[in-house]
Structure formats: structure tokens, C-alpha cells
Structure 1
Amino acid sequence: MAKDAHMLNSFDSSALSSLSQDEVALIRKREEVLGPAYRLFYEEPLHIVRGEGVFLYDREGRAYLDAYNNVASVGHCRPEVVEAIYRQATVLNTHTRYLHESVLQFADELLGTFPDEIGHAMFTCTGSEANDLALRVASKFTGGTGVIVTKLAYHGVTASIAEISPSLGQNVPLGHHVRAIDPPDTYLYAGQDIGLRFADGVRAAIADLRRYGIKPSALIVDSIFTSDGVFTHPPGFLQEAAKAIREAGGIYIADEVQSGFARTGSNLWGFQRHGVVPDIVTMGKPMGNGHPVAGLVARPEVLKPFGNDGRYFNTFGGNPVSIAAAAATLAVIKRDGLQANSHSVGKMIRSGFEKLALKHGHIGDVRGDGLFIGVELVTDRNAKTPARELTHRVVNGMRRRGVLISSTGTRGNVLKIRPLLPFKEEHANQLLHVADQALADL
């Protein structure tokens, strides 16, 4: 399978000649048994066999600093989470139509991290399922089907969610009921009222939906606009957009799969920095530190029509073992102060890249919140010309030096830096040192 022109940081199998015989054999076996749809990262794919803390290890025992993973966010093979999964699996794991205390206890604890307006929790296995369920709830509540997303959004892989995920590429078309708008790009549109500009995009999408007889149902955004390029400032810019969709009879869904669970540092949930309460919040990936558990929380009045007129059942969503993983993960975040750590270490990393920008002219912008950072690379700072190929070279240069990041953005020129939550100062220094080396190579 040749390199995917749309997917950033994807492996090009025409470069097999540069790999070892064992690696070539593994790649060929993947193609044989898994088919052509899967993709690998990096010019030289990684063969990872073990993880511990903030490091991944290949089969030769080489350590890679993981500054990308948002799944095992509290650390690879985190002992407390592993123990919780093991302990519950030795007692009971079954479907979710029996009474069980743990799911209720965890739901209470989870809801306690949200504003008072959010009152119910529902559980799934993946973020894709959570977003799928959220759209069903939204449609029932609003009577509409129209969905507004950002230009390069990614929300999941089910049929209904793939068609609201432009980042999957041109060969995965958007639904006729979907409108994709410009992200709140504070770099390209510096000096403009970014909240007003984004809300105007929402209003234009609403008008276009209505022109084709489609009633608006939801605005769904990843609270940190991950695939669009990482946009976090200024705090509060989402308020006007949420107001616009609600005035049109729709609801605001915050997709927190990327930005939730202390990732953004300033708050536990990404939407909180904007001073607006969503109607539905979805979550997944880091929720169980790698165990497949996800879900949503919602305003009771939004969930009521869906619950009254239908029923919801998910065989594995919220099973005892999954809930044990999720409860242990949230406990680690709270006990170890990982939100505060995300805030302080993230600030250190952003400051470090700002200093590197004085040395490396290709750094056009540094942005982010907590341990989610975007560094935009350009060939000309004045023209803000995107340096897509140079971004690819930096990502792979860092990989060769033992630090893992990726790339993102509508122009493919943003370094996507998403360290694990227990990152310490020495890890941040290693990341910055290797980034300095990779940028110097340009």
C-alpha cells in the first residue's frame, strides 16, 4: 500500500527496501491478513513490544519517549489500572443488564466532574460509538438531522460518524446533511475576532442546511480542534457558536475524546475553558487508559425524549471490567495531580518551543493548552506559507532520535505534540532537545 496522500505521517510501503527483512515480513503479513485499509505511522514503522510509564520499547529494547499517545494517557501499563482490570476480571465480567454497584459509583464520580446542568451518563466501548449515540440523542431531541463540523474534523469510524469526519479523506464523503466550516484558526486569522468568525461560519452552515430543507440538529466540535491544527485561544471563543446553534433549534456537542481527562491542563475538560456548558459531552480513548471504554454525559432534558421513546443497550459498554479501568484511571488523575502537572509541564514545553522559534525561522506559531501543543511550521513567516514537507521531516527526524510526535492541521504543517500526563521536566527537556536537533537538520 502506497503512502496515503491525505493521511499525515503515514508510511509509504514503496520504501520497503530501507527496512529489515523481519520488518518487511511483518508489513507483508499485515497486508495479507488485515487487508489494505490499515495505515502505519512514520517513514520507518515502529515495532513496539512493550510500554512502561512515558516510554515505549521496540524489540531491540530501544526506548522511545512517547509525546503522542492519548490512549494510555496516565502511563503505559499503569500499575493501578492493570491491577483494577485484573482484580475485577477474576470476580465478574458480564453484560450490562444486571444490577451492579460499580457502574453507578463511577457514573456518580464522573458526573461530579461536570457542571451541575449535566445530569446523566451513558457508556459505550469506543468514542465512535459515543458520538454515534450522541447524534441519535440530538436528532430525537431536536427533530433535525443537520450536523455542523469543522473542515478537518475527526469524530470516529462508524458509518454515521465517518460521514461527519472530513479528516478521513475525499474517498469517505460527507453526508448530505453535514456541513464543514473553517476551524477557529488564530494563526491565519490573527487580529480578527475568532469567536465571531467561527460563529459566522456556524450561521452560514445553518442557512445552507435550511436552504436544502434540512433542520439543524447539532454542532459537534473537538474542544481543542485536534485534526484542524490545535486551536485553544482565546478562552471563551466557543460561546457565540454554541449560542448560534441553539438559536437555530440545535444543540452543542463537545467531543472530549481528545481534550478531556486533564489533557488541556487548565481544566479537566476542554470545553470548560470557554465558559459554556454543552448539551452533550462525549469521551473515549484515555478514559480507561487503553481499555476500550467510552461514553457520554448529557443534560437530562436533552436525553429524556430519547430515553422515553426508545431504549439503549450496549452489551459491553459499562461492563464491570471496563468500569474498573475507567474508575482507576480517573482516580490516578485526581490522586497524582495530573491536571496540575499537565498545566505546568505543558507551559514549560510551549515556552521551550517559543525560545526555539528565536533560533529556528521555520517555527511560525506555538499554541495549545496543557499537554496538547501545536507548533506550526512555515517556509515564510510573513506569508505564513505552510511547510508541510518540512513538518514531515521533523516528525521523522524526532522518531529516529527516539521521541514520538506526529503532525496535524488543514495544511499538514503543524507538529502535533501530545505527551502522556505524567510527563516530568526531564521528559520535557528531552523532547525540546530532540526537536531542536530535528529542526536544525532542516
Structure 2
Amino acid sequence: MEVLPKNETIALREKHIGKSCQLFYRKDPLKILVGKGQYLYDDKDEAYLDCINNVAHVGHCHPDVVKAGCEQMATLSTNNRFLHDNIVLCAKRLVDTMPEELSVCYFVNSGSEANDLALRLSQIHTGNKDVITLEHAYHGHLTSLIDISHYKFNLPGGVGQKEHVHLASSPDYYRGKFRDSEYRREDLGHMYAQEVKEICNGIEEKGRGVCAYIAESMLSCGGQIILPQGYLQEVYAHVRKAGGVCIADEVQVGFGRVGKHWWSFQMQDVVPDIVTVGKPMGNGHPVAAVITTRAIAESFEKTGVEYFNTYGGNPVSCAIANAVFDVIEKENLRENALVVGEYLLECSQILAKKFEFIGDVRGVGLFTGIEIVKDRSTREPSKEIASYVSCRMKEEHILISTDGPDGNVLKMKPPMVFSKQNVDEVMYALNGIFKEVKETFEFAIAPRPRSDSCSKEARKTMGPSLKEAIIKSI
């Protein structure tokens, strides 16, 4: 197919694509034509190291995944009302990674569909409507999910908080309601969970019951937040006592990203009633699923209303999902996430000792956040510096992004094939750009000529002792 000049692509997009569909780097958007492993290539065949694409879980265009999809598409692609091995084998693989209580699967096309179905299952099973969700959370773009996504409904043009939606504070130890600067970190899980208990009590006082508590097992849009230990154990107990079910949203953080486990909720030693998965499941192909208990599935069956999804669980999608499982296991990508993730976190923490505007560094596996602040004592966020760093990294052909309620968290969720050498490249570039910030920002945007220390040419010659070099320069 003929490739249009970039200016024509932009013109057609402005003419025919809704303006609400925003691009990365809007002032100078990238036109990406090829993906391979942890790299993306633009219309000039320039390579960019991808640190943010958690959808391409096992690497862009992994040949085994592509082959599985192509071969199945050339053989059969139909809905799941016919018997086919791919869907049952995929369901078995999902269930085998879960606690034994979670044994029934429903297949859908996206994480949004998965979370919507999870809410429907919860309402039917409990007979309740009230949902407890987290501050700054995002669970999908369907109307039902915008209603429970503070990240969206709280925007100036958002729909606002509905009467049946209850917000619990984001369990953020650094800049949340309860902070480690004021309380012992080991107490924070209990303190944040107590707020959920109070919400449950308030719902019961109105003569109602809780339908569901839904939360990502690590908070992505909320700012790369790692839940305090013990938090989910207490929350789940309070919610279940109030008649509700507990939904773990693993759409962004599942499939071994944390390294030690298949699923992030396992770090909290809990068993959800419903788990939703998506994004990485198909490595870019639209496939997702809901995994739940036999009891909840039976409540759904008793309604007598058939559940049917035209494309959910079709042979092609399930062939691709099975291939993703194969690659994760064959290439030991969970172990890679653990080893490389620890190295990424350690290097980021070293940078934090050197640059005073890095307020906090946190992460598990290949899920890392660097919080940028104006002042470490007040922890006041600096969106300006974070945005500057993100844009400068793009100029250095490294893609990271910003998130969090104040847009001041540099987030990294790269493909699982990310290597220590990739970490070195990222850290070398960040080190140079952070030097620029230190020299040119008096904590207000005022860019000056860039430092040569983070040039792409210099990065190519760096040795294995990058970490030691940074330590020496502190």
C-alpha cells in the first residue's frame, strides 16, 4: 500500500477523525510505520525505543504471534457458537494462572468490554447498584465505565459523579490523603482501607448494599501507584461484608508484568471475585476476557438472558492469545520483567539521589513511575518539568509519557522484551536531560540550548558501567 506523505496524513486526520481522538506529541506527532520488539520506526525509518507500549506485551509484531494469527485467519474465523479448540484451550490457560476459585471465563474484545461485563455480573449477582471506585481511576471508555472513572468524569466537561458511585481516596503513600511523611508506611494500607469501610457503612445506612469494589491492582492513570501492603485484604473483607463483590482490573498490569506473579493482585495475597484482562492478551490484537467464580456465573445463567459476543473468543483472537502465552513462557518474559525491572528501579533511584526535583521513584517489574516535583518538602508537583522531559526524550528517540492527576509522573511500561541495555540507554538520556533541567529550570519552564551529554551518538558508545558512573557523579 502506498504511504502518504506525513502532511497528507495529518490533513486527512484533521478532516475525518474526531478531534477528541488525540495524538501523542500533538505539536509534532510521530508517523509510525513499523514495529519490531521494543522499537518503533517512523516514516523516515528512524528507530524509537518504546518505553510505554504495554499493549505490545511480548514485543511489537512478534513473529510467533503474527504467524498464529495469520494461519488461523487463513483457516477459519467465526463466532464462538461453534465448537472450537482455541477458545477452550485459551480459557484453560487463563484459569490455570488464577486462584482455583476463579474458574469461569467470558471472552470479549477489549478491556472496556471486560469491565462493563464485570459490572453487569456484579449487579446481577448482588442485586445492588452502588459501586466503590478509586480517585483518579480509569476503567474504560464505555458509558458505564466513564461513570465510575474519576479520571474522566471529573474533567471540566465530564458527566460528574453519579449518585450510585462512591469515591475512595487513591492509596498513594507519596502525595495521597495519608502520606509516608506523616505516618508509618506499614500503617497506610489499613488507613486507606478504613475509608472504604466507612463508605460501605454509609451505603448500608441508606438501606442499600454494595454492588462492587473495582480497582486496578496497580494504579496506572492514577500515577503508577503501588498499593500499600495489606490494603486489598482489608478492603475486600469490608466490601464482602457489605454484600459486594471485588473486581481486580488487570487490563494494563497483568500477564506477568510484575515478574513474580502472573497477576498484580497476587502481590496483595487476595482472591478477587472477578478479574478483567485485556490489552497485552493479544499483543495488539483486540481480545480480552472476564474470569470469575462458578457462583457468579450461575447467577448470570439464572437470568435466562443469553450472553453473546460476535467476535469475543473467535478462533483467530484465541489463537493469538494462546501464542502470547507461549511466548511469555518460552522466552521467560516474567523472569525478564523481574530482573530488568529491578535494574530499572535501582537506576531510577540512583538518579533520584542526584536530582532534587525527583520526588519519588516506585515500581514493580516493568511498571515504573518517576514523580517530578518543584519542592521535595512540600511535594508540589511539576507538570512543566515532566512534560519537558517527555518531549526531550522523544527528541532523543526514546518514548516515555506522563500521567497522574497532576501530569507530573514519568511512566514506563515497556514491552516485556525490554533489556538492561535498553535501561542503560534510557538512564543515560534521562541523566543528560535532567542536567538540562537543573541548569535551565528554576522550577519554571525556560529551555535553553540542550546538553550534548545525552546525544544519540554518545549513547551508542556507553559502556556497562553507566550505573557506577552516575553514582560517582552524585
Q: Which runs of 5+ in 2 are unaligned?
A: 438-474
2:169 matched residue in structure 1: 182
Q: Which amino acid aligns with 2:257?
A: R
On the 8 A contact 1:123/1:293 being kept in 2, the answer is: yes
1:150 matched residue in structure 2: 134
2:221 aligned with 1:227 = yes
1:9 matched residue in structure 2: none
SS for the counterpart of 2:402 is: strand
2:329 aligned with 1:334 = yes
1:276 matched residue in structure 2: 270
2:422 matched residue in structure 1: 427
Of 284, 294, 299, 2:293 maps to: 299
TM-superposed deviation, 1:215: 2.9
1:14 matched residue in structure 2: none
- Once residues 352 and 280 of structure 2 are traced to their aligned partners in structure 1, the CA distance between those partners, rounded to angstroms, is 31
On the 8 A contact 1:219/1:253 being kept in 2, the answer is: yes
TM-superposed deviation, 1:384: 0.9
1:256 matched residue in structure 2: 250
TM-superposed deviation, 1:41: 1.2
Of 47, 50, 54, 1:63 maps to: 47
Q: Which runs of 5+ in 1 are unaligned?
A: 1-20
TM-superposed deviation, 1:29: 2.1
Of 290, 294, 319, 2:284 maps to: 290
2:307 aligned with 1:312 = yes
- Once residues 234 and 194 of structure 2 are traced to their aligned partners in structure 1, the CA distance between those partners, rounded to angstroms, is 9
Q: Which amino acid aligns with 2:407?
A: G
On the 8 A contact 1:195/1:239 being kept in 2, the answer is: no
On the 8 A contact 1:151/1:410 being kept in 2, the answer is: no
- Once residues 330 and 438 of structure 1 are traced to their aligned partners in structure 2, the CA distance between those partners, rounded to angstroms, is 37
On the 8 A contact 1:254/1:281 being kept in 2, the answer is: yes
1:136 matched residue in structure 2: 120
On the 8 A contact 1:177/1:214 being kept in 2, the answer is: no
Query: TM-score, normalised on structure 1?
Result: 0.92
On the 8 A contact 2:56/2:284 being kept in 1, the answer is: yes
On the 8 A contact 1:218/1:251 being kept in 2, the answer is: yes
TM-superposed deviation, 1:301: 1.0
Q: Which one is further off, 159-168 or 217-226?
A: 159-168
- Once residues 258 and 102 of structure 2 are traced to their aligned partners in structure 1, the CA distance between those partners, rounded to angstroms, is 20
TM-superposed deviation, 1:203: 2.1
TM-superposed deviation, 1:369: 0.5
1:363 matched residue in structure 2: 358
Deviations 1:325-373 (A, max 9, x none): 1000011111111111101101000100111112111111110100000
- Once residues 270 and 191 of structure 2 are traced to their aligned partners in structure 1, the CA distance between those partners, rounded to angstroms, is 17
1:172 matched residue in structure 2: 158
Distance 1:263 1:170, change over 3 A: farther
- Once residues 388 and 24 of structure 1 are traced to their aligned partners in structure 2, the CA distance between those partners, rounded to angstroms, is 30
- Once residues 145 and 48 of structure 2 are traced to their aligned partners in structure 1, the CA distance between those partners, rounded to angstroms, is 33
TM-superposed deviation, 1:411: 2.3
2:194 matched residue in structure 1: 200
TM-superposed deviation, 1:211: 5.3
TM-superposed deviation, 1:439: 1.6
Deviations 1:125-151 (A, max 9, x none): 001000000000001111111111111
Q: Which amino acid aligns with 1:254?
A: A
- Once residues 405 and 118 of structure 2 are traced to their aligned partners in structure 1, the CA distance between those partners, rounded to angstroms, is 25
Q: Which one is further off, 328-337 or 77-86?
A: 328-337
RMSD between superposed Cα atoms in Å: 1.6
1:345 matched residue in structure 2: 340
- Once residues 221 and 140 of structure 2 are traced to their aligned partners in structure 1, the CA distance between those partners, rounded to angstroms, is 12
Q: Which amino acid aligns with 2:366?
A: L
Of 349, 364, 367, 1:372 maps to: 367
TM-superposed deviation, 1:25: 4.2
2:411 matched residue in structure 1: 416
Q: Which amino acid aligns with 1:412?
A: G
- Once residues 90 and 199 of structure 1 are traced to their aligned partners in structure 2, the CA distance between those partners, rounded to angstroms, is 51
SS for the counterpart of 1:56 is: strand
2:85 aligned with 1:101 = yes
Of 398, 401, 420, 1:403 maps to: 398
2:147 aligned with 1:160 = no
Q: Which one is further off, 233-242 or 206-215?
A: 206-215
TM-superposed deviation, 1:24: 4.9
Of 390, 393, 403, 2:388 maps to: 393
Distance 1:278 1:267, change over 3 A: same
- Once residues 172 and 316 of structure 1 are traced to their aligned partners in structure 2, the CA distance between those partners, rounded to angstroms, is 30
Q: Which one is further off, 265-274 or 35-44?
A: 35-44
On the 8 A contact 2:218/2:227 being kept in 1, the answer is: no
Q: Which amino acid aligns with 1:284?
A: G
On the 8 A contact 1:236/1:273 being kept in 2, the answer is: no
On the 8 A contact 2:135/2:150 being kept in 1, the answer is: yes
Query: TM-score, normalised on structure 2?
Result: 0.86
TM-superposed deviation, 1:229: 1.3
On the 8 A contact 1:388/1:413 being kept in 2, the answer is: yes
Q: Which amino acid aligns with 1:99?
A: L
1:4 matched residue in structure 2: none
TM-superposed deviation, 1:236: 3.3
2:11 aligned with 1:28 = yes
Q: Which amino acid aligns with 1:64?
A: Y
- Once residues 63 and 235 of structure 1 are traced to their aligned partners in structure 2, the CA distance between those partners, rounded to angstroms, is 39
Count of aligned positions: 422
1:236 matched residue in structure 2: 230
Q: Which amino acid aligns with 2:215?
A: V
Q: Which one is further off, 395-404 or 202-211?
A: 202-211
SS for the counterpart of 1:238 is: helix
Q: Which amino acid aligns with 2:337?
A: S
TM-superposed deviation, 1:26: 3.0
Distance 1:212 1:233, change over 3 A: closer
Q: Which amino acid aligns with 2:246?
A: Y
Deviations 1:383-405 (A, max 9, x none): 11111111111111111111111
- Once residues 242 and 215 of structure 1 are traced to their aligned partners in structure 2, the CA distance between those partners, rounded to angstroms, is 14
TM-superposed deviation, 1:64: 0.4
On the 8 A contact 2:287/2:312 being kept in 1, the answer is: yes
Distance 1:30 1:212, change over 3 A: farther
Give the percent of matched residue pairs that are identical in Structure 1 and Structure 2. 40
Q: Which has the larger radius of gyration?
A: 2
SS for the counterpart of 1:135 is: helix
- Once residues 404 and 306 of structure 1 are traced to their aligned partners in structure 2, the CA distance between those partners, rounded to angstroms, is 43
On the 8 A contact 1:181/1:201 being kept in 2, the answer is: yes
Q: Which one is further off, 270-279 or 221-230?
A: 221-230
TM-superposed deviation, 1:31: 2.5
